[in-house]
Amino acid sequence: MREITFVEAVNEALHEEMARDERVYIFGEDVRVGYGKGGPFGATNGLAARFGPERVIDTPISESAIAGTSVGAALWGMRPVAEIMFSDFLALAMDHIVNSAAKMRYAYAGEATVPVVFRMACGAGVGAALHHSQSPEAWITNVPGLKVVMPSTPADAKGLLKSAIRDDNPVVFFEHKFLYSRLREPVPEGEHLIPLGKADVKRSGEDLTIIAYGAMLQQAMRAADLLNQEGVKVEVLDPRTLVPLDRETILQSVKKTGKVIIVHEAPTFGGFGGEIAALIAEEAFYSLDAPIKRVGAPFTPVPASPILENFYLPNAEKIVKAAKEIME
């Protein structure tokens, strides 16, 4: 199977879905030819040349306008893919996403649908400092009516994005910018769909479960390799979709291993890992052989200094340290 990068997989999904359904269009800042390649990361590369200015629309620098216009278009039967260039600016679009998109179906007793995808680049590790490096997934997982997706591999990025675009509910789709060009893996050509709400066991084991998503999956896999050298068989589970959360797969894994570490890049305090930990404590408590461990960032803004940013980020070594504490 051919190998492509994470951002190429996103781009391929957009090309395929726009070709499949003329209601799909791209809406956001610099999505046509910004930075000479379709936005700062190249995710929309080639779309303007192929589909024209009526379906690949550059907008003013206003995340509120991008989100609000996209919600309105979705209500009228279009399937917009709205790009919020950096997830940090989700805050500027929050009212339209949280109070409009998320609530329309409920407010109209199921008669209205809002098939819009809000794509946004998230995460640290690229030296973008505190205003362009956050992982704000926990901000919106508390909002009923939204689906929240954060893929960790190129194949998952393609399959989940295609499913998100076809979904009749609003989807917030986080793409970790550190993975865009650094991660190259096999991706199926043509039709490749992954259902929203289905976790994936990336590595099987029986001694310890590590739950990780986004860029932290790579760190979890590396930690599993290090622990394997010491005889610890680690199961690595990627939720892929945070809302809806695949509770069954998570609980099955924890009941098998009896030990669990939850890893995410966002600060540990108030992070989504707390929700996963609560699920396990409530429904698999008597299967646990040790306390649940969480590995995340400290409760501080993302530093600008590369040295401090590296210190700030969770990594394989920190996961291994937590694993040894559990195993002991």
220, 265 in Cβ contact below 8 A?
no
State which H helix or E strand residue 294 sits in: strand 293-297
Burial class (CB in 10 A: 0-12, 13-18, 19+), 126: middle
Work out the average pLDDT over 66-93.
Answer: 97
Pairing of strands 147-149, 171-176: parallel
Predicted confidence (pLDDT) per residue in 132-144, tens digit: 999 999 999 999 9
Q: Which amino acid is at 152?
A: S
Tokens (6 digits) for 12: 């391929």
Say if residues 259 and 227 touch (Cβ distance below 8 Å): no
Per the CB < 8 A criterion, the answer to whether 261 and 210 are in contact is: yes
Assigned token pair, 300 = 């501080």
Task: Read off the pLDDT of each residue in 22-48 and give the average, rounded to a whole number.
Answer: 90
Taking only the tens place, the pLDDT of each residue in 205-257 is 999 999 999 999 999 999 999 999 999 999 999 999 999 999 999 999 999 99
Least confident of 27-41, 78-92, 95-109, 118-132: 27-41
Helical (H) or strand (E) element with 8? helix 6-20
Strands of the sheet containing 260-267, edge to edge, are 200-203, 234-238, 208-212, 260-267, 293-297
| Residue 104 structure tokens | 């329309």
- Cβ(316)–Cβ(223) under 8 Å? yes
**In the prediction, which pLDDT does 291 show?**
97
Q: Answer yes or no: 176 catalytic.
A: no
Give CA angle at 146 (242, 160), nearest 5°: 55
Taking a C-beta distance cutoff of 8 angstroms, is the pair 258, 229 a contact?
Answer: no
pLDDT at 168: 97
Instruction: State the Cα angle at 294 between 290 and 297, rounded to 5°.
Output: 160
SS3 328: coil
| pLDDT score at 39 | 87
Q: Give me the pLDDT at residue 122, please.
A: 98
Q: Which of 96, 132, 176, 264 is catalytic?
A: 132
pLDDT of res. 328? 84
- Given a cut of 80, whether residue 35 has pLDDT beyond it is no
Neighbours of 95 (CB within 10 A): 13
For residue range 303-324, list pLDDT tens digits in order.
999 999 999 999 999 999 999 9
Q: What does the pLDDT average to over 175-185?
A: 95
Using CA atoms, how far apart are residues 123 and 265, in angstroms rounded to an integer? 7
Q: How far apart are CA 69 and CA 76, in angstroms?
A: 11
Element housing 234 (H / E): strand 234-238
What is the radius of gyration, based on Cα positions, of the chain? 19
Amino acid identity, residue 46?
G
Question: 56-58 and 24-28: which strand pairing?
Answer: parallel
Round to whole Å and give the CA distance between 51 and 275. Answer: 41
What pLDDT shows up at residue 37? 79
Residue type, 15: H
Domains of the chain are 3-186 (3.40.50.970), 200-327 (3.40.50.920)
Residues 6 or more apart from 86 whose CB is under 8 A from it?
120, 121, 122, 128, 131, 132
Report the DSSP pairing between strands 3-5 and 184-186: antiparallel
